[in-house]
Amino acid sequence: MAREQRIKVTVNGQGHDKVVPVRLSLADFIREHLHLTGTHLGCEHGVCGACTVSMNGRSVRACLTLAVQADGAEIVTIEGLRQADGTRHPLQQAFHENFALQCGYCTPGMLITALELLRDNPNPSEQEVREALSGNLCRCTGYQAIVDAVMDAARRMQPAAT
Amino acid sequence: MSDTRFVNLRAVGSPVLPDEAIPLVEGEGRFLNDIRLPGMYHVAFLRSQHAHARLRSVDVRRARELPGVVKVLTGKDLLGQVEPFRSMPNRFSGGESVQHWLAVDKVRFCGEAICAVVAEDRATAEDALELFEVDYEPLAAVTDPRLGERDDAPLIHDSCPNNYLIKREYARGDVDDAFRNAHLVVKRDFRIGRKQALCLESRGCVAAYRESTFVLTLWISHQLPYVVRHYLAKHLHLPENEVRVIAPHTGGGFGQKASVYPEEFVCAYLALGLRRPVKWVEDRLENMVASTHARDQYIEVSVAVDRDGRILGLSSDVWVDVGAYSTYLWSAGMEPLQTAGLMPGPYRVPAMRYRTRGVATNKTPVGPYRAVGRPSASASLELLLDEVARRLDLDPVELRRRNLIPNEAMPYRNANNLMHDNVNYVPCLNLSLAKAGYERLRAEQRAAAASGKLRGIGVVCFAELTGLGTSTAVGPGTLLQPGRDAVTLRLETSGVLTIAAALPSQGQRIMTAMRQVASDELGIKLSDIVGLTNDTATAPYGFGTFASRTAVFGSGAVIQAAKELRRRMLALGAHFLQVPADELTIVDSIIQTLDRSKRLPIREMAEKSYFSAKDIPPELNPGFEVTAFYDPKFGSFAAGAHVAVVDVDPQTGGVSILRYVATEDVGTVINPAVVEGQIIGGIAQGIGEVLMEELVYDDTGQPRTVTLADYIVPSALEIPRIELHHANTPSAALGGFKGCGEGSIIGAVGAVACAIADALSRRGGDIRAFPATPERVLRGLGVLPAEV
């Protein structure tokens, strides 16, 4: 098998055409080759969720995905959450204002997971938020402020009443 | 919410939004692994596969020949070049343990580093690990401290008879008399398993030669940059001023990043020798075996009470499985001494004695982890008190009321020689019970029992010694005795105030707290105050962040420095405004007369003081940079009372937490939202500790829990909503702060343990080994046979 392969991938709206080692993980590709270090590695075997990125609209573990598997895909990382006008995404703002992060290492994965949740379920219950986040470990907050932030973001992201 | 909402109010006590969190929420944090320098090599470590073995030979030839490998370093290469880690001598130490940075002749735990490989990239360094050939001669392993102390046990260090790394006996008061005259004596044996701090970011470092003006620069994921600098210089024989240590954004510390480890020191040595930067980032598998573990106690404890349930005496025997080496700097004494010595907690204990030992075993060394010793100690005593209450047919709450140190008895010196003052033990209990609706909870418990449910209620009280100054030992017997830290306040020419301190945050928002304190002390707007931290090149001396000390030391030093800075600002303001200094005040970054008729923005004054100094009498312009040290002398006690309600499933042994109510006394609160985050986070870790987290070894010393699939920590589904209340009372420290980083984990372990034991007792069951896994719960109910 070839040791390297060419991939075309869109990350946060920007296209990339790169030759990568076939054993390179998507996480290392994003971090080391694209220099987007907002995606964090916590366990490198798919348990902690810190490396979660959005691939074609679904949350995936970037540590368990090979870069070559992302050929042709649309990827969104935490760096891609900023809105067109340069302001923080409502989820990011809600995390900040609810004190939903301490060390901040799990935050990128939490945000990407919550992004998918709120797209699929714009009015989640607290229990639904907890279930959606149950694959993302946080060692600092006890989750309470994170759950509150996601609920708060859901409110902020409601279409304005007409 | 924004900073400006609090203008003209006291910043202290307000939930000021932490600017320092913004890069983290935007994906622009700079953690250790995000650092990349030109020409940087990568390091990987070859680790022992055996718990205890002689190294007959280590063949490095094939690894060295792999293309891309730059260097292979063995333990023998380091002999005579650097100083190995020797356990710190202290008055309670057993024998000495010597830890070579890379093993020489012998390995003493699975995961101990044997060789380091330097390569062009990380993958090549890891590929090279497959090419080493190590000839081990396996030796009998010690895996149980109670067997390890026997005369016939294998010796882990020839210099440690009976494998004692530490041993202490203590007695105060007439303990024999207390037990002789007791109405009731209750004794229990408890077992608390081995834990992992499990920082989501593992350890790591980048070491660079001649970066900037320093010979050695080390970026390290760590809580104590200055301490690292001191010991790096000492062990590498470098002048301390040629070493710079920087702690970048750190993804969790919890004590695990407060020790000095071999790997980072090896990297520093390699960078100096290769004259190139090197990077090492621990992977999770390594983290589970190479970063310090915690707890792991066997506790035999008995309490003597009178007929009213008042404690007369406490006696304990503690064995801690401290692992293969005395953890460097903190020593093997942490868990053994704090477990036994701090067991009385918030209760009046007139007489106590203990025998405690830290026994070396062939496991990863035990080091500091959130609240060292006390979660196990507190849970043991609380479970024992519940048993006393059952025997005396007293409500467990009433028993605690009779034994808590009441405010009117303070200052009160307990049998462990610690002074309790300004602590709200009883008010915390009262508030938690009222908020939880304790009577109703008991009624619901009876109703649940009638419908076949197994419900339990745990009510516990705890004390946490915080903010230790020079007069109180951080742990009796350890030599590293931090007690003073410095802060520098500098008014920049733009009028912005910079706070510099070596007090890293791993999420505690230390700098936000210090900005709030400085804002109140100086009248400078929060938006005009910035922080500079974590870098020994820019911050004054400080021990760092651990032991719930940082808010106390950082804020105290800010108050001290602000006093002098304010005096200087007012003196110069008086000169410019032609008004006596004592008629001036500072509000919203403006020096002004009380009637606001004369005003001078600090910005203007600061700029003039530097750029138009010739117009100012020199005695009025000594410069706006003040460094102050703060030493609170004594520590203070933070406190809390927690109530947990659980349902136990008698079929599966599963435990679910229905309610969790906590009241804490953390002294004056600087930022309530940050404090709540600390407390709730600590409770969540405690719930993990008491229900699921355990590092398991087999009896040959092989670790069985080396991934996050084996070592289970709580997810959002296992942690209930925590109902948090406050009964704060100021400490005697400057500002009245106490610290809150650790206390809550103590309460959580005891509260949930007591609730489970309470549930099991309804069916004649009991539980004495933790974590309370479903298997142990079923054993406690007699559904499965008892553990042997």
Burial of B452: CB neighbours in 10 Å, binned 0-12, 13-18, 19+? exposed
Chain B neighbors of A112, CB-CB under 8 A? none
pLDDT score at B788: 62
Could you read off the pLDDT of B125-156 as tens digits, one per residue?
999 999 999 999 999 999 999 999 999 999 99
Chain B neighbors of A82, CB-CB under 8 A? 26
Could you read off the pLDDT of B607-627 as tens digits, one per residue?
999 999 998 999 999 999 999
Mean pLDDT, chain A, rounded, equals 96
pLDDT score at A1: 62
Could you read off the pLDDT of B436-486 as tens digits, one per residue?
999 999 999 999 999 888 999 999 999 999 888 887 765 555 667 777 899
The answer on pLDDT for A11 being more than 60 is yes
Chain A neighbors of B504, CB-CB under 8 A? none
Contact B204, B250 (CB under 8 A): no
Nearest CB neighbour to B674, from listed A23, A96, A99 = A99
A143/B684 Cβ within 8 A: yes
Judge whether B712 is closer than 8 Å to chain A, CB to CB. Answer: no
Burial string for A129-155 (b: 16+ CB within 10 Å, else e) reads bbebbbbbbbbbbbbbbbbbbbbbbbe
Chain A neighbors of B680, CB-CB under 8 A? 141-142, 144-145
The answer on pLDDT for B408 being more than 60 is yes
pLDDT score at B92: 75
| Dist CA B689 CA B535 (whole Å) | 33
Percent of chain B surpassing pLDDT 90: 90
Q: Which domains does chain A have, with CATH numbers?
A: 4-80 (3.10.20.30), 90-156 (1.10.150.120)
- Sequence-distant (6+) residues with CB within 8 A of B120 are B41, B42, B68, B70
Q: If pLDDT is split at 50, 70 and 90, which confidence band does A80 have?
A: very high
Percent of chain A surpassing pLDDT 70: 98
Q: Which domains does chain B have, with CATH numbers?
A: 3-30+484-630 (3.30.365.10), 32-139+202-250+256-290 (3.90.1170.50), 372-464+635-780 (3.30.365.10)
Q: How many CA atoms lie within 13 A of B369 on its CB side?
A: 27
Chain B neighbors of A75, CB-CB under 8 A? none
Contact B556, B12 (CB under 8 A): no
Whether ipTM tops 0.90, in short, is yes
Of B334, B343, B360, B348, nearest to B300 (Cα)?
A: B343
Could you read off the pLDDT of B548-591 as tens digits, one per residue?
888 899 999 999 999 999 999 999 999 999 999 999 999 999 99
- What part of A 60-79 touches B (C-beta under 8 Å)? 77-79
Residue with tokens 């190294």: B55
Could you read off the pLDDT of A118-162 as tens digits, one per residue?
999 999 999 999 999 999 999 999 999 999 999 999 999 998 755
The answer on pLDDT for B287 being more than 90 is yes
Overall pTM > 0.95: yes
Helix (H, G, I), strand (E, B) or coil at B484: coil
Burial of B658: CB neighbours in 10 Å, binned 0-12, 13-18, 19+? middle
A40/B252 Cβ within 8 A: no
In angstroms, what CA-CA distances link B669 with B112, B516, B739?
A: 43, 11, 9
pLDDT score at B470: 80
The answer to whether the Cα torsion of B254, B259, B262, B265 is positive or negative is positive
| Dist CA B662 CA B746 (whole Å) | 12
Q: If pLDDT is split at 50, 70 and 90, which confidence band does B6 have?
A: very low
Q: What is the mean pLDDT of residues B183-192?
A: 98
- What part of A 88-147 touches B (C-beta under 8 Å)? 88, 92, 95-97, 99, 101-108, 111, 126, 129-131, 133-147
Q: Residue B612 carries which DSSP code?
A: T
Contact B284, A50 (CB under 8 A): no
Nearest CB neighbour to B722, from listed A37, A48, A144 = A144
Mean pLDDT, chain B, rounded, equals 95
Contact B319, B146 (CB under 8 A): yes
CA angle A44/A49/B224 to nearest 5° reads: 75
A37/B34 Cβ within 8 A: yes
pLDDT score at B106: 97
Q: If pLDDT is split at 50, 70 and 90, which confidence band does B771 have?
A: very high
The two three-digit tokens of residue B263, written as one number: 């790997």
Q: If pLDDT is split at 50, 70 and 90, which confidence band does B3 have?
A: very low
Percent of chain B surpassing pLDDT 70: 97
The answer on pLDDT for B678 being more than 60 is yes
Chain B neighbors of A22, CB-CB under 8 A? none
Identify the residue among A88, A143, A152 best suited for mutation to test binding to B, counting B beta carbons within 10 A and taking the highest. A143
| Dist CA B456 CA B772 (whole Å) | 14
- What part of B 271-310 touches A (C-beta under 8 Å)? 283-284
- Sequence-distant (6+) residues with CB within 8 A of A102 are A140, A141, B506, B507, B508, B509, B677, B681
Residue B734: count other Cβ atoms within 10 Å of its Cβ. 18
Identify the residue among A105, A130, A133, A151 best suited for mutation to test binding to B, counting B beta carbons within 10 A and taking the highest. A105
The answer on pLDDT for B2 being more than 50 is no
| Dist CA B153 CA B159 (whole Å) | 14
Could you read off the pLDDT of B61-77 as tens digits, one per residue?
999 999 999 999 999 99
Contact B486, B204 (CB under 8 A): no
Of B363, B374, B340, nearest to B291 (Cα)?
A: B363
pLDDT score at B484: 85
Could you read off the pLDDT of B497-528 as tens digits, one per residue?
999 999 999 999 999 999 999 999 999 999 99
pLDDT score at B1: 37
Q: What is the mean pLDDT of residues B716-744?
A: 95
A92/B716 Cβ within 8 A: no
Q: What is the mean pLDDT of residues B375-392?
A: 98
Chain B neighbors of A105, CB-CB under 8 A? 29, 31, 199-201, 251-252
Distance from CA of A108 to the nearest CA of B (A): 7
Nearest CB neighbour to A103, from listed B1, B252, B722 = B252
Q: What is the mean pLDDT of residues A96-109?
A: 98
| Dist CA B309 CA B393 (whole Å) | 10
pLDDT score at A79: 97
